[in-house]
Structure 1
């Protein structure tokens, strides 16, 4: 637990997630768990990250509590519940290698979406209740596995062209509820272990600091170069996770 390499990687991962929650590099929040899998088992990585995400959710709720489109929230939530339940059910039959493979594939799709971009093409489809339920279920599934539910929700919400604050507030409330729903199953699966909670507690200042730094920098830097470098690193990370997963399965 007190390995300096572990805490260096963990602090960097949590810092990126904090920056994403602030709105500075919103899409890069998906890299948190994949980075952590370099120094700990994938399920433990998701478990350690959950309390930190909940703390950041609380801060986001305070900031955006009056900016929520409840109609969109209630369209997305039923699907998210179904997706989370499916992921929980599958957790009993999948191995650590399978989890790494799944996280690697999700991360790779995220990078390809940023480069191609797939999400904008899908977002051109007309939003509907059925469409929202479908993407809500994908968000619930991927969020349960590796806290990567943001891109599916954006596919549904981007065509609506909501005001930025309303978009951020609706996301904040939705993922606050989705993350809270994970607590009982994560606890029952042993992902909220004492060691994970101790590590998460030590990383709370990093999470809050990341959000505060992001809020300060969001209007002061051009993130274009950062994105280009980060996407290459994430691409390589996804390939390593896929390789580890395939080797572990074989």
Structure 2
């Protein structure tokens, strides 16, 4: 077997997407939604889901190495039942939906998480005033939505970020809990993805070629984490994610 025959522009989009994955794991949680749009624009929608999953797991390994000691394990246990429900629901959707509908669902999910991110910004003060209360309803809603979005589109980053920010997690606890959450969830998704035929030989070739990009970007992201403006970068990611989602939708 040989690597897939893609255009230079397509490979460029995949390389940029892989770099964003590395950066998102090291310093910018939620930015991977742009990588989802890039991969789904270049590859068949179902294949893109499986291909990007393996790269996300590579990024998870780096994140665990960097922030493994800072996780809030009680929060992970609290979220687990709802996340499992969401994962199963997402797997059922993938089994029944056509490639076209998967592509449209990815677009809708991306637009939704962008909207959620903007709403989170407006409600940030109110959320902070409530303090670190982890309500069962919140865990059920965010956990199930996070499980579904990560199974269908690997786009749970902004959803779970809102949950952790609402709980006023300190920065290291935020990054550590996020690292463990997505590492566990992404490994759990592997059997579903294999069973649904989302992981292909062509996708494995692409992953093999892009792993060095993910690792390099992760190290770079850790280095620049305290040297860039988070707000400026988030605004750029939001704009580009909207453009990518609209492209997939129409």
Would you call these one fold, judging by a TM-score over 0.5? yes
Q: More deviation in 122-131 or 171-180?
A: 122-131
CA distance in 2, matches of 1:237, 1:198: 24
Partner of 2:106: 103
Q: Cα offset for 1:116?
A: 4.6
Say if 2:162 is the partner of 1:131: no
Partner of 2:10: 6
Partner of 2:158: 151
CA distance in 2, matches of 1:113, 1:195: 34
CA distance in 2, matches of 1:117, 1:57: 25
Question: Is the 1:47–1:196 contact (alpha carbons within 8 Å) kept by the matching residues of 2?
Answer: yes
Partner of 2:225: 218
Q: TM-score, normalised by structure 1?
A: 0.89
Question: Is the 1:80–1:138 contact (alpha carbons within 8 Å) kept by the matching residues of 2?
Answer: yes
CA distance in 2, matches of 1:192, 1:16: 21
Q: TM-score, normalised by structure 2?
A: 0.89
C-alpha RMSD of matched pairs (Å): 2.0
Q: 1:40 to 1:231 in 2, by over 3 A?
A: same
Q: 2:192 aligns with which of 177, 185, 193?
A: 185
Partner of 2:203: 196
Q: Cα offset for 1:40?
A: 0.8
- Three-state SS of the structure 1 residue aligned to 2:43 is coil
CA distance in 2, matches of 1:123, 1:151: 16
Gaps of 5+ in 1: 244-250
Q: Cα offset for 1:74?
A: 0.4
- Superposed CA deviations along residues 39-59 of structure 1, whole A, max 9, x for unmatched, are 111111111111111111111
Q: Cα offset for 1:123?
A: 4.7
Q: Cα offset for 1:8?
A: 0.8
Question: Is the 2:18–2:35 contact (alpha carbons within 8 Å) kept by the matching residues of 1?
Answer: yes
Question: Is the 1:119–1:155 contact (alpha carbons within 8 Å) kept by the matching residues of 2?
Answer: no
Q: More deviation in 82-91 or 2-11?
A: 2-11
Gaps of 5+ in 2: none
Partner of 1:18: 22
Partner of 1:248: none
